[in-house]
Amino acid sequence: MTGSSVPPFAVISGAQVQQALAGRERQITELVEETYRLHDAGDSVNPPSYFLRFPDRPSDRIIALPASIGGKVRVDGLKWISSFPENVAAGIPRASAVLILNDHDTGYPFACLESSIISATRTAASAALAADWLTRGRPQGSRPARVGFFGTGLIARYIHTFLTGTGWTFDEIGVHDLSAEHAAGLRGYLEKAGPGRITVYEDAEQLIRSSDLVVFATIAGEPHVSDVSWFEHNPVVLHVSLRDLAPEVLLASTNLVDDVEHCLKANTSPHLAEQLTGSRDFLAGTLADVMAGRVTVPAGRPVVFSPFGLGVLDLAVGKYVYDEVTRSGDLHVIDDFFHELKRYGA
């Protein structure tokens, strides 16, 4: 969008978002990589997320993620995402979200997109990107072929889709969840999704010991995995749910985050490790540091990637969706959305 006229305002449904993103795992993972590089180069504004919490509903929250991104994407905006864990028992997803895109030149909002799919997509793409970069230095053929999903909700499903959609194949797929029903749900999905022997582990330790790539996607509010010996086979851990691992596990691992200031907040496991040790020395750096060659991942230790989740990723994926829907000619514009446009009346 250019010039300083008022842009039309569009609404993009979840069905349109899904259609724009379906089968695009490689493109979106590349887009997320470019966005991490832009953010690393300082061509973004990404203030801390704002957590709205409720004294009478302590497990619920709504998070605001304002952000601005430069480069080719060049858009500002806000992601507004709710997490109501009780929804799952009622048969609807935990998370719901909208993304507002604002025009770079006028500040006008020009689109409202269904954003639970965008959020899950950028999260999964970032996990797949990390899995790739954190195993690049390994000898040919020694990339993990045993994956374990610790927590088996929507995010776990999306991460599986992005791993397989970016070239990963698994001989063994482990799943573990506090709820046998949820574990069976992901198992049913995986059986249809492709090859790999699937095992449901009731025991968390067995899942971790049987996986060289471990994906945490629970809704745990505080650490529940603290035994360092479970990680003695040095897996790559995608710690997407951020609060599962006790500081001891992080202190025995190589730790990478997406953004240091963001991640060392809100009682994430890295935040707890900082509080425990009084320093940030346990952090090796960011994924962008690895991508730029500033940090090398040593062999012989577990590697833990804890991504806080950056609003700039939602903007980049949201703008991609907006451009796709516009290109397809299906953009649903709300006529006269902005109405009071003459300073002193018509």
Name the helix (H) or strand (E) containing 247.
Answer: helix 247-251
User: Cβ closer to ligand NAD: 203 or 281?
Assistant: 203
Using Cβ positions, the residue closest to ligand NAD within the complex turns out to be 153
Q: What is the binding site for ligand NAD (CB under 6 A)? A: 83, 85, 88, 94-95, 119, 123, 150-156, 177-179, 182, 217-220, 224, 240-242, 307-309
User: Cβ closer to ligand NAD: 10 or 225?
Assistant: 225
Least distance between ligand NAD and beta carbon 83 (Å): 6
Least distance between ligand NAD and beta carbon 190 (Å): 14
Least distance between ligand NAD and beta carbon 120 (Å): 7
User: Cβ closer to ligand NAD: 10 or 175?
Assistant: 175
User: Cβ closer to ligand NAD: 110 or 162?
Assistant: 162
User: Cβ closer to ligand NAD: 166 or 268?
Assistant: 268
* Nearest in space to 130 (alpha carbons), one of 242, 290, 321, 263: 290
Least distance between ligand NAD and beta carbon 229 (Å): 19
Least distance between ligand NAD and beta carbon 269 (Å): 12
Least distance between ligand NAD and beta carbon 341 (Å): 37
DSSP class of residue 131 equals H
Least distance between ligand NAD and beta carbon 330 (Å): 27
Rounded distance between C-alpha atoms, residue 38 and residue 93, angstroms: 32
* Nearest in space to 128 (alpha carbons), one of 111, 116, 144: 144
Least distance between ligand NAD and beta carbon 53 (Å): 14
Least distance between ligand NAD and beta carbon 239 (Å): 8
Give the number of other CB atoms < 10 A from CB of residue 97: 21
Task: Concatenate the DSSP letters of all residues of 62-122 into one string.
Answer: EEEEEEEE-TTT-EEEEEEEEE-GGGGGGTS-SEEEEEEEE-TTT--EEEEEE-HHHHHHH
User: Cβ closer to ligand NAD: 176 or 319?
Assistant: 176
Rounded distance between C-alpha atoms, residue 173 and residue 205, angstroms: 15
DSSP class of residue 146 equals E
User: Cβ closer to ligand NAD: 115 or 164?
Assistant: 115
User: Cβ closer to ligand NAD: 152 or 253?
Assistant: 152
Q: Could you tell me if 157 and 117 are in contact, meaning their C-beta atoms sit under 8 angstroms apart?
A: no
Rounded distance between C-alpha atoms, residue 269 and residue 264, angstroms: 8
Rounded distance between C-alpha atoms, residue 31 and residue 122, angstroms: 9
User: Cβ closer to ligand NAD: 121 or 166?
Assistant: 121
DSSP-based three-state secondary structure for 270: helix
Beta-strand runs (E) in the chain: 9-12, 44-45, 50-54, 57-69, 75-83, 95-102, 109-114, 146-150, 172-176, 197-200, 213-216, 236-239, 254-257, 283-286, 303-306, 332-334
